[in-house]
Amino acid sequence: MSIELRHLRCFLAVAEESSVTRAAARLGLTQPSVSRALAALEQHLAVRLVDRSTHHLELTAEGRAFRDKAAVAVTAFDEALDAGRLPHRPLRLGHAWSALGPYTTPLLRRWRSEHPDTALELLRIDDRTAGLARGEVDAAVLRGPVDTPGLATELLFTEPRIAAVPSDGPLAARASLALADLAACPLVLNTVSGLTTLDLWPPEIRPTATVTVANTDDWLTAIAAGRGVGASVASTAQMHAHRGVTYRPLSDAPHAPVFLAWRSTSPHPAVRQLVALARKVAGTG
């Protein structure tokens, strides 16, 4: 049996809804037809994409890897059919948090002035590639190493790291902090879209306790509640003020690179203009 686009659409709907029933309702299909499409796709690939052994349907490791490839393929197909309107469709710019920091508003304002025929939509998506690998956006602001296959990148600037500590704690009274100052506290890590990992610390002073969260809002809440401390970049302090969180320079941590990324195949026709303008706004173009 040959695989068609409908098989990919069914799989992506199941992946996003975590339910065959909801996926069928979303696609306007019957539940058996979606199940058959999913089974046919698994048979064709000779891998199990969905774990049906739990009460809640979940993707397998192979399913998660295939989801990104399927999303790119479906997006490319849809864009090809809409080629006549590509120059004027919105340019979707994803970010996981803080966007371009202080350069965000200048970029949006200048884009609107210089490219009035193409709207620039800024979307926060809690994902390591801010929705880019899944085809939810056309370009994304990414911090740290970018190793996702199929993405092209442009380094825009680097920014200093900062510590985030509870405002009522002793570390908030310090003018600046070092990595060792944070090592004795539980470290709050955004493991879904965050930049910081334990590898930021040398092995001999690495924090031994961690608190994991899934987005920036929960990261801030955990720190403000005194559950731990965090490390991020300067833009976080500028874009995410919180009265329960005090930001301090992190003196001995390396600066973090900030990239503009896009899919190397079938990019939005305005991506190159976005790269050029982002470089100008950030002072690197």
Please give the average pLDDT of every successive group of 10 residues along the chain, which has 285 residues. Answer: 84 86 86 91 90 78 87 77 62 95 96 94 94 91 92 95 98 97 96 94 95 96 98 96 97 97 87 95 84
How many structural domains is the chain composed of? 3
Q: How far apart are CA 118 and CA 285, in angstroms?
A: 21
pTM for this entry: 0.72
Same-domain status, 186 and 196: yes
Classify 140 as helix, strand or coil: strand
Same-domain status, 173 and 57: no
Which of 50, 65, 81 is a domain's end point? Answer: 81
Nearest-CA neighbor of 102 among 163, 156, 165?
156
**Which residue type, as a one-letter code, is found at position 220?**
L
| Side-chain half-sphere CA neighbours of 214 within 13 A | 2
CB atoms under 10 Å from CB of 58, counted, come to: 14
Contact in structure between 177 and 165 (CB atoms under 8 Å):
yes
State the maximum Cα–Cα separation within the chain, in Å, rounded to a whole number.
67
pLDDT at 265: 81
Same-domain status, 233 and 112: no
**At 236, which CATH number?**
3.40.190.10
pLDDT at 178: 97
Same-domain status, 196 and 236: yes
pLDDT at 57: 83
CA dist 202 → 178, 196, 260 (Å):
12, 13, 29
The range of the structural domain enclosing residue 243 comes to 161-254
**At 56, which CATH number?**
1.10.10.10
Nearest-CA neighbor of 232 among 126, 143, 169?
143
